[in-house]
Amino acid sequence: MPAIYKKELKGYLTSMLGYLFIFFILLLAGIYFTAYNLVSAYPKFEAVLSAVTFVFLVAVPILTMKIMAEERKQKTDQMLLTAPVSVGSIVWGKYLALITVYLISVLILSFYPLIMSKYGDISYATAYTGILGFYLLGCAYLAIGVFLSSVTESQVIAAVLTFVVLFLFYVMDGISSFFSQKAFVSFLAFSVLLIAAAFIIYGMIKNGFLAVTIGLIGEVVLLCIYFVKSSIFEGAIQSFLSIFDINSHYSNFSNGILDITGIIYFVSIILICIFLTIQSVVKRRWN
Amino acid sequence: MRLLEVRNLVKKYGNHLAVDNLSFQIEKGKIYGFLGPNGAGKSTTMNIITGYIASTEGEVIIDGHNILEEPEKAKKCIGYLPEQPPLYFDMTVLEYLKFAAELKKIPKEKRDSMMEEVMELVKIQDVKGRLIKNLSKGYRQRVGLAQAILGYPELIILDEPTVGLDPKQIIEIRDLIKGLKEKHTVILSSHILSEVSAVCDYVLILSHGKLVAGDTPENLSKLAYGEKTLSLEIKGEREKILSAVGSLETVEKTEEVPSETESVVSLKLTSSEDQDIREEVFYKMAEIKCPILRMDMTRLSLEDIFLELTEDKEPEVQEKKRKFFMNRKEKKENKEEENNAGDL
């Protein structure tokens, strides 16, 4: 793992990519910092951070698009995968290098509250809680980007895919408000999702019988639950979609609250995405 | 001692069978050559042995470690140069080799001296500070080779190591591979015959994912003994000579080749049996007082065997050919055993 971590970190810091990423975050944070804290003299730095979370939509694909896809295309993954290291340590090495680059920009950002303190009283605790949340949020987004980069061989597809998925997560709050709270709506939404899942299963294992069986059994179960106790479905789709609503988990941090559930949520996202990345690399060996 | 054992390897890509029930063993201290036309399954087999891709069925055991069950221990015994050298173009040669050394977990104190040695071996000392993307194909290939040798693994696997090199570089790389034999076991793949017969101690011929023959280059030529032909130039009357040759029972086929001089008859005799018919022919010609001006025996070259074995034919014919070669090999081995017993 140290070998890959060092190589990746060096790769980011000797090419444009890492600097572009840091530049992008600092640029946007700087504009908002000037507007909110310097010009309007607003004492809360965490407000700046919660305003610039959209920066990840562009910055994350820049950094993650080539992390797995490039190795596959250049066939350098043959060297990594035939070396005496596990797939897990390859993926973790790469991911840790990523969040180290990101840490550089966050460290620079953490000087901003100190600058503000020159001109008045500010709450360090809430400001640094906000920065911690911002860091974790970015790490979670980066983990998603790493996973999506491992699914494809093309950098462009990886970048677009990452942007779309991150965008969907970003507007998840709005999407879930499209649905009414009624049980029937949730039931319908889950039925559609189940059919989609059955298609995905068919696409992955090419076994029509199994996919149809899973789909049918699922639909029957949904139907039973709906008729026996339809109250379960009230607001169910909203709570399901809120799983993907990464930004709302950040809102507590941006209000200056050290939210343990939020930390657990972000760490879970990271672990799940890294796990999926490892699986997707391992799976490719069997194709 | 046995270093690598491949048992009943099968690899399917969808419906396409890339490797079909392949089994072989590799012993220490020899150079092995995988020979086969394009798409015979050479690269796939190598990728499975090194653990880059997984087989559909079968197992690979390296120095007692199963590649799937103990991947890290097994991979430690292998140095691999894939068909396309796995190089990071934005690194210098030195940076790249350092990364490879760290990846292979070579102890820090040994790292520098080992890198120097390997660079000396593949002659890339003079380009060590240059970016890999600025190197020529030949140098890139050598950097890839250096990466495979680094750490001195017991088994070095090279997939078409001389492809794309100029003749001088090819000779250099071949000499280098021969030099590796002292400390390492080498498997290399190629579709170039002369390369395999020049470098390898043992040849495995693959076709359509199957092992069609496996022996030393010399034995492979000997195996085809049955197909030997005798070409002759005999001075004398045509009818007399032909009837004399026709009376020889061991001659299976007589073919007349147009001759340059009128009084000389050119013939090609084929005998399928193992025995040498030269003496017989000589005495027969002496009997009818027709001097033999020239007589030489042509054996099938490795090239002929290769073409013969890998040619696309009906599957049954192919299978028959394969059995024929395998049987011959067994027979020969039995004979050798008998001979050995006789010596004792």
What does B17-81 look like in DSSP terms, one character per residue? EEEEEEEEEEETT-EEEEE--TTSSHHHHHHHHTTSS--SEEEEEETTEETTTSHHHHHHTEEEE
Spell out which residues of chain B touch residue A4, defining contact as CB-CB under 8 Å. Answer: 103
Please indicate, yes or no, if residue A239 is contained in any of the structural domains: no
Alpha helices in B104-212 (DSSP H): 108-122, 137-149, 167-180, 193-199
Closest CA to A43 of A137, A131, A118, A136: A118
Which of A134-138, A255-259, B158-162, B254-258 has the highest mean predicted lDDT (pLDDT)?
Answer: A134-138
Of A76, A85, A286, the CB nearest to B54: A286
Are A75 and B86 a contacting pair at CB < 8 A? yes
Q: Which domain holds residue A191?
A: 183-234
| B239-248 core/surface letters (b: 16 or more CB in 10 A; e: else) | eebeebbeee
Does one domain contain both A125 and A203?
no
Mean pLDDT of chain B: 81
- CA-based R_g, chain B, Å: 25
Q: Which of B16, B68, B103, B152 to mutate to test the interface with A (most CBs of A within 10 A)?
A: B103
Coil vs helix vs strand at B287:
helix
Does one domain contain both A114 and A204?
no
Does one domain contain both A128 and A223?
no
What Å distances lie between residue A275 and A91, A163, A203, CA to CA?
Answer: 9, 21, 21
Does one domain contain both A67 and A119?
yes
Please indicate, yes or no, if residue A281 is contained in any of the structural domains: yes
Strand partners, B19: B11
Provide the greatest CA pair distance for chain A. 69
Are B72 and A85 a contacting pair at CB < 8 A? yes
Spell out which residues of chain B touch residue A85, defining contact as CB-CB under 8 Å. Answer: 72, 103, 105
Contact A19, A94 (CB under 8 A): no
Does one domain contain both A255 and A224?
no
Contact B307, B205 (CB under 8 A): no
The average pLDDT across A34-55 equals: 88
Strand partners, B298: B229
Does one domain contain both A204 and A109?
no
Pairing of strands B292-298, B253-257: unpaired
> Among the three residues A215, A234, A253, which one is the final residue of a domain in this structure?
A234
Are A77 and B103 a contacting pair at CB < 8 A? no
Contact A18, A101 (CB under 8 A): yes
Q: How many helices (H) and strands (E) does chain B have?
A: 12, 14
Task: Please give the pLDDT value at position B314.
Answer: 54
Contact B212, B322 (CB under 8 A): yes
Are A84 and B73 a contacting pair at CB < 8 A? yes
Of B54, B75, B105, the CB nearest to A285: B54
Spell out which residues of chain A touch residue B71, defining contact as CB-CB under 8 Å. Answer: 84, 86
Task: Please give the pLDDT value at position A134.
Answer: 92
Does one domain contain both A203 and A61?
no
Spell out which residues of chain A touch residue B88, defining contact as CB-CB under 8 Å. Answer: 7, 11, 74, 76
Please indicate, yes or no, if residue A178 is contained in any of the structural domains: no
Task: Please give the pLDDT value at position A234.
Answer: 76
Beta strands per DSSP E along A118-260: none
Compute the nearest-CA separation of B16 from chain A (Å). 12
Q: How many structural domains comprise chain A? A: 2
Of A2, A15, A81, the CB nearest to B51: A81
- Which residues are within 8 A (CB) of A131 and not within 5 positions of it... i.e. 6 or more apart? A45, A46, A49, A106, A109, A110, A113
Is the per-residue pLDDT at A6 higher than 80? yes
Pairing of strands B264-270, B65-66: unpaired
Token pair of A119 as six digits? 């001109």
State which residue of chain A sits closest to B98, comparing Cα positions.
A3
Spell out which residues of chain B touch residue A87, defining contact as CB-CB under 8 Å. Answer: none
Spell out which residues of chain A touch residue B73, defining contact as CB-CB under 8 Å. Answer: 84
Does one domain contain both A159 and A220?
no
Task: Please give the pLDDT value at position A138.
Answer: 93
Are A84 and B105 a contacting pair at CB < 8 A? yes
Are A285 and B52 a contacting pair at CB < 8 A? yes
State whether the Cα torsion B166-B170-B172-B176 is positive or negative: positive
Please indicate, yes or no, if residue A133 is contained in any of the structural domains: yes
Are A6 and B102 a contacting pair at CB < 8 A? yes
Q: Which of B46, B48, B52 to mutate to test the interface with A (most CBs of A within 10 A)?
A: B52
Does one domain contain both A96 and A213?
no
State which residue of chain A sits closest to B55, comparing Cα positions.
A286
Of B73, B82, B99, the CB nearest to A78: B82
Q: What is the pLDDT of residues A63-104, one digit of tens each?
A: 888 888 888 888 888 899 888 888 999 999 999 999 999 999
Half-sphere exposure of A68 (CA within 13 A, CB side): 33
Does one domain contain both A45 and A138?
yes
State which residue of chain A sits closest to B150, comparing Cα positions.
A83
Task: Please give the pLDDT value at position B332.
Answer: 55
Does one domain contain both A33 and A10?
yes
Are A78 and B87 a contacting pair at CB < 8 A? no
Spell out which residues of chain B touch residue A14, defining contact as CB-CB under 8 Å. Answer: 90
Q: How far apart are CA B313 and CA B324, in angstroms?
A: 15
Are B90 and A7 a contacting pair at CB < 8 A? no
Please indicate, yes or no, if residue A278 is contained in any of the structural domains: yes
Contact B43, B89 (CB under 8 A): no
Q: How far apart are CA B203 and CA B215, in angstroms?
A: 5
Residues of chain B with pLDDT under 50: 225-226, 342-344
Q: What is the pLDDT of residues A144-162, one digit of tens each?
A: 999 998 888 888 998 999 9
**Whole-structure pTM value:** 0.79
Token pair of B271 as six digits? 């005998």
Strand partners, B220: none
A285 touching B (Cβ < 8 Å): yes
> Among the three residues A216, A234, A252, which one is the final residue of a domain in this structure?
A234
Does one domain contain both A117 and A192?
no
Are B76 and A84 a contacting pair at CB < 8 A? yes
Query: Can you list the domains of chain B with their CATH numbers?
Result: 2-222 (3.40.50.300), 229-298 (3.30.70.260)
Are B75 and A84 a contacting pair at CB < 8 A? yes
Q: How far apart are CA A216 and CA A223, in angstroms?
A: 10
Find residues 80-139 of chain B whose CB sits inside 8 Å of chain A. Answer: 80, 82, 84, 86-90, 95, 99-100, 102-105
